[in-house]
Amino acid sequence: MPHTAARTPWKLAARTARMNASAIREILKLAELPGTLSLAGGLPSAATFPVEAVREATARVLRDSPREALQYAASEGFAPLRDWVATQMAGQGVDADAANVLITTGSQQGLDLVAKVLIDAGSSVAVESPTYLGALQAFVAYEPRFVAVECDDGGPLPEALGDVAGARFLYALANFQNPSGRSIDGARRAALARAAAAAGVPIVEDNPYGELWYDAPPPPPIASHWREGTVYLGSFSKVLAPGLRLGYVIAPPALFARLVHAKQAADLHTPVFNQRVVHEIVRDGFLDAHVPTIRARYRAQRDAMAAALAAHLPTSGPFACRWRTPAGGMFFWVELPQDVDSEALLAKALERGVAFVPGAPFFAGTPRRNTMRLSFVTLDPASIERGVAAIAAALGELRDEVVAPRAAAAGGRR
């Protein structure tokens, strides 16, 4: 009886069988062990948090509008913050009205609300492969069937959209995707929007990392090419601080009221105290000066990881690894030699005091086990060099102990 907890009166919903603890969560616990150098985290660097700005904004909110900041508030969100988001989006080429902006408790909640409103049990949802694990977790609670859209190094293939016709939506990260770090260029975005419209597959575009560009600003969102067919999700977690849990959803009118109903049922509204504090911080252009400081920090760390990978990992021969330097975001995605399981590599790396995230959990379908995700945002360049060197050494050890003998044995059987 898989859905009845033993000797208790509780009968669990069928969906719980698919709602498991994130494998990454367990790895992150290992990564937090004292003395472990972690390339595993998905956290921004706490050194980027604008503590003084939060302090001042909090004091002003509690001085000027304490009762409003502590009372129940509108499910849609704090109106001036919705206005601010709409204005920002206009700057990115997305014609949004504040009336289409829903403030959410982090963009993770946006994923949950979108799924609640669009997914029926057994309906299909198209995803990139790999894709953001947290989205799979949000969606799976509504019991969809995942279908992977065919992708290349530039993102989903427009000509493959017809293959996922009937999907309730395509979930896509256009900028510096978690976990792969890849971006979709401007021409591909336009082509995807056209192909999706032709196939009748709307798009859920998630953009937590768009502001974290290190070479050039990204092109306008997919949403700018197909406003009525795209739901766009944004977040303050990477440009301000995730502990405030503030994100937003921009949805076309056909969906907006439904999302508000779902929001009301989910938590009535996002803490209005947090919304007012964040609005107080961002209203006068604070991010224009702050975000470049985050970019400068992360860019140097990205460059350090690029150099360390080039110095330590083999890129040719039978044991070659493959990666590309991401143009933004938080992660390198490394393809290990075909017969290396990154979970085995993790075990070896942990022995050397270094943690990372194996790639398998990021695949909705058949995982590519020879992949791993390395975060460069929380460690200084010297630690990044040390961490990558240790992973390379662990890889060498794995090759000598496990993979090479196995290859020899396989050769012997032929």
Q: Is there a contact between 214 and 298 (Cβ–Cβ < 8 Å)?
A: yes
Which residue number, 12 or 33, has a Cβ lying nearer to a copy of itself?
12
Q: Rounded to the nearest whole angstrom, what is the least distance from the CB of residue 248 to a copy of itself in the complex?
A: 13
Which residue number, 21 or 408, has a Cβ lying nearer to a copy of itself?
21
Q: Rounded to the nearest whole angstrom, what is the least distance from the CB of residue 380 to a copy of itself in the complex?
A: 16
Q: Rounded to the nearest whole angstrom, what is the least distance from the CB of residue 311 to a copy of itself in the complex?
A: 31
H or E element at residue 27: helix 23-31
> Which SS3 state, helix, strand or coil, does residue 392 take?
helix
Q: Rounded to the nearest whole angstrom, what is the least distance from the CB of residue 281 to a copy of itself in the complex?
A: 12
H or E element at residue 193: helix 186-199
Q: Is there a contact between 362 and 130 (Cβ–Cβ < 8 Å)?
A: yes
H or E element at residue 279: helix 272-282
Which residue number, 258 or 386, has a Cβ lying nearer to a copy of itself?
258
HSE (CB half, 13 Å, CA atoms) of 26? 8
Which residue number, 154 or 243, has a Cβ lying nearer to a copy of itself?
243
Residue with tokens 């256009």: 174
How far is it, in rounded angstroms, from Cα 389 to Cα 352?
10
Q: Rounded to the nearest whole angstrom, what is the least distance from the CB of residue 111 to a copy of itself in the complex?
A: 8
Strand pairing partners for 73?
Answer: none
Measured in whole angstroms, the distance separating CA 250 from the mean position of its chain's CA atoms is 17
Which residue number, 336 or 364, has a Cβ lying nearer to a copy of itself?
364
Q: Rounded to the nearest whole angstrom, what is the least distance from the CB of residue 296 to a copy of itself in the complex?
A: 19
Which residue number, 15 or 283, has a Cβ lying nearer to a copy of itself?
15
HSE (CB half, 13 Å, CA atoms) of 321? 25
Burial class (CB in 10 A: 0-12, 13-18, 19+), 137: buried
**Residue spans of alpha helices (H) in 71-167:** 79-91, 106-118, 133-140
Q: Rounded to the nearest whole angstrom, what is the least distance from the CB of residue 15 to a copy of itself in the complex?
A: 7
Which residue number, 88 or 123, has a Cβ lying nearer to a copy of itself?
123
